[in-house]
Structure 1
């Protein structure tokens, strides 16, 4: 059985963030095209992946570690 500390939370968070970034662009987005981040999916997906990677890293830091 894998320990929670061995799971690559950063990469799982990056994937979830990329999917979330695409979903956010698709559903909310920016209709006028003047928003620098939200107007194109090519910028929103990597931004979401980066935020998800950082969030996953935080989860890995707070997960219980066993010796």
Structure 2
């Protein structure tokens, strides 16, 4: 994998972590029984995972030449 791939995915993870914590802080879970949003750590890690996956979609893979 290239350095650009890691950079783009890493930026996605960081943005996702920030968004996950912001979701916990501003929306959260009133009853405390929500699996993801009841604790800030869970919400932050889930946001980081989703951000990394989302940004990884925008990474282009190298094209292979068909040589027969």
TM score, norm. by length of structure 1: 0.78
Count of residues paired in the alignment: 59
Runs of 4+ deviating beyond 4 Å: none
RMSD: 2.0
- Which of the two has greater helix per residue? 1
* Rg larger in structure: 2
Larger RCO: 1 or 2 (CA < 8 Å, sep 6+): 1
What is the aligned partner in structure 1 of residue 22 from structure 2?
A: 23
